[in-house]
């Protein structure tokens, strides 16, 4: 890789405020906020609105739409005439 053109890649804590959950990973994102992690070190923290802990798809609370019923109802109302 060429020097000076790539962003810094290092440890960052992502925190899901809705679920009170945080995880440490590596990223190019940065933040002015910091947090002391379980290992005693201080890392930049990025607050996110949703993660796999709070997303309805992963938690099993996602609603499934009845698309077949909607299509049939549309065809009954506005179906082909003649």
Residue 19 tokens, joined: 């679920």
Q: Is the pTM of this model over 0.85?
A: no
Rounded Cα distance between 67 and 69, Å, is: 5
Instruction: Give SS3 for 64.
Output: coil
pLDDT of 69 > 80? The answer is: no
pLDDT single digits (tens) 12-46: 999 988 888 899 999 999 899 999 999 999 999 99
Q: In the numeric block, which tokens belong to residue 66? A: 């009845």
- The yes-or-no verdict on residue 53 having pLDDT over 70 is yes
State residue 77's pLDDT score. 83
Instruction: Report strand pairing: 10-16 vs 42-48.
Output: parallel
pLDDT band at 56 (very low <50, low <70, confident <90, very high): low
């Amino acid at each position: 890789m060429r020097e000076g053109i790539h962003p810094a890649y290092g440890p960052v804590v992502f925190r899901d405020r809705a679920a009170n959950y945080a995880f440490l990973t590596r990223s190019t994102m940065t933040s002015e906020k910091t947090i002391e992690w379980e290992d005693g070190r201080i890392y930049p923290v990025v607050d996110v609105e949703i993660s796999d802990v709070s997303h309805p798809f992963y938690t099993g609370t996602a609603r499934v739409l009845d698309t077949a019923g909607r299509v049939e109802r549309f065809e009954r109302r506005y179906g082909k005439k003649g």
